[in-house]
Amino acid sequence: MASAPIVVHPPSPSGGRRVTVRQGGILGLAHRDADVIEFLRRAGLPDAEALLDDPHWVEWRGGSAHEYEAA
């Protein structure tokens, strides 16, 4: 199975998570789910909120999904 096209990377030590898209590079630094949703909408995904927990679209790496502060 191919990896999801959107990756939410592990939380950075200063907070926030980098969000990337497989074909287009960095979308931005998210500090909450609303940021990820906005990045996905800007990338042309109109039903972005429903995609956050869909592993076919979004892969959460390192740390728990929906958590943006480093441990």
Instruction: Supply the pLDDT for residue 2.
Output: 62
pLDDT in tens, 8-26: 999 999 999 999 998 779 9
* Pairwise CA distance, residues 27 & 12, whole Å: 16
Confidence of residue 39 (pLDDT cuts 50, 70, 90): very high
Which burial class, exposed, middle or buried, applies to 47 when counting CB atoms under 10 A from its CB (0-12, 13-18, 19+)? exposed
**Number of helices followed by number of strands (H, E) in the chain:** 2, 4
Instruction: Supply the pLDDT for residue 3.
Output: 83
Confidence of residue 61 (pLDDT cuts 50, 70, 90): very high
User: What's the mean pLDDT when you consider all of the chain?
Assistant: 91
Instruction: Supply the pLDDT for residue 32.
Output: 97
